[in-house]
Amino acid sequence: MKSSPAGWLQQDRWCLAVFLLALVVRAGYAPLSAWVDPFLRSDPLHGDAASYDLIARNLMAGEGFGTSPGVPGAFWPPLYPFFLAGLYTAFGHSLLAARLVHALLGASAVGAVYAAARTVLGRRVARLAGLGMALYPYLVYFGNWLIPEGLYLLLLALALWAMAGQQRRSSRRGLAGLGLLLGLGILAKPAALLMLPLVGFWALVAPPDGPLPARLGRAGLVLLVTALVVSPWTVRNYRVFRAFVPVSTNGGYTFYGANNGQAFGGHREGFPPPLPGLSDPASADEYYRRGLGWIAEHPADFARLALRKLARLFSPLSVASWETDYPVPPAAGCPVRGLYGAFLASALGGALLALRRWRAVFLFHLPILSVLASAVLFYGDTRYTLPMVPSLLIFAGFGVRSASERLRLRRVGGPLAAGGGDP
């Protein structure tokens, strides 16, 4: 079976259809987002976007990587600011042009998720997952915030497709390509580091079967290439700060902000306070020390806080800096919560049905498990669910396909399906 994008388009026009649908929806919303989105209406560079934009402009001006000209920083991960600088170089400092490029990234991620789902679970599941990806509201909504999520989701979707292909026919080149995608993903979103142990486990248990040394070699190759991709930036950080910083230092800031006596599960504005006189790595170490100290002294409070973070993670209206859900009229809030609850229930049902072939579908569990771990350690809100949305949609599609197949077979009096994927 052809595994290239052209091969997929030749075999299944649905892949092109969901890509074009996703592109039309995203490109159509891009020029409207600054007027429709209340956060972008008040600030087109809302939240983290202001820092990424500033670093990108400093890079273009030859002032180095940092928010202050000529002062090197390690607080923010590097890939997205360099990507944004490239967009500004090509199109000028146009936020609309950047959002349109993000629309293309999002549509490409839809196509990659479709291909991954079809490789593992068949065409009908892929169609449902692809259609869901194309129209999923928060993928469209957050795609217009100039933050790394759009770039990271494309890299993650391509990684899932690469993993699906390796389960059909493993090769050193394919495993090296997977390591490249994972390394770039970590440089975009360092939280992706939480996926690496899971990727190693996937390489050991996923099809095709083989002797243990071969499977260990498969895992080792992926992780080695991932480390090689990340290592140049790690070396840069060591040369600048004389400290071991794999990617960025904002993990310490976020960790302490998420785990303290006033924490509510999201980001509290203005907290934690800056630590004058400390470098980025030293500040991160101190923030981690404070956060771990609070957890050690208040384990029961941390457990309750972790549950609150997970509740926020699965709320469709949670906002990072708001302690309560975003206020919407009951006439809108109830349907939103109801539809989102039905979606989560269908995804859970599909995941349970897929357990009979868990080794083949474990790659789709990776983003879900890593996001859950990240939410417990850091923050939980709607934006942080995005990396697991492709997997949730795939499992939901599998659940819907399985249920419809069971109903069809009962009507015709045939045996129930065993849960396999269609070609």
Mind listing the pLDDT tens digit for each residue in 165-208? 999 999 999 999 999 999 999 999 999 999 999 999 999 999 98
CB 188 within 8 A of CB 149: no
Tell me the average pLDDT across 114-132. Answer: 96
Percentage of the chain lying above the pLDDT 70 cut: 95
In angstroms, the CA 191 to CA 255 distance is 12
Q: What is the pLDDT of residue 4?
A: 57
More confidently predicted of 413 and 7: 413
Q: What is the pLDDT of residue 253?
A: 96
Nearest to 23 by CA among 148, 120, 154, 117: 154
CB 56 within 8 A of CB 88: yes
More confidently predicted of 269 and 94: 94
Q: What is the pLDDT of residue 320?
A: 83
Question: Measuring CA to CA, how many Å separate 398 from each of 130, 173, 176, 247, 279?
Answer: 12, 30, 29, 36, 49
Rounding to the nearest 10 degrees, give the CA dihedral for residues 346, 165, 13, 402: -30
Phi, psi of 323 (to 5 degrees): -75, -25
Q: Which two tokens stand for residue 192?
A: 């992706």
Q: Please say if the pLDDT value at position 415 is more than 70.
A: no
Q: What is the pLDDT of residue 12?
A: 75
Tell me the average pLDDT across 245-264. Answer: 96
Q: What is the pLDDT of residue 6?
A: 56
Quick: pLDDT tens for 54-89.
999 999 999 999 999 999 999 999 999 999 999 999
Q: Is the dihedral of CA 269, 271, 277, 282 positive or negative?
A: negative
Burial 344-367 (b: 16+ CB within 10 A, else e): eebbebbbebbeebeebbbbbbbb
Nearest to 311 by CA among 390, 376, 397: 376
CB-side exposure of 312: number of CA atoms within 13 Å?
30
Q: Please say if the pLDDT value at position 418 is more than 50.
A: no
CB 179 within 8 A of CB 225: yes
In angstroms, the CA 80 to CA 76 distance is 9
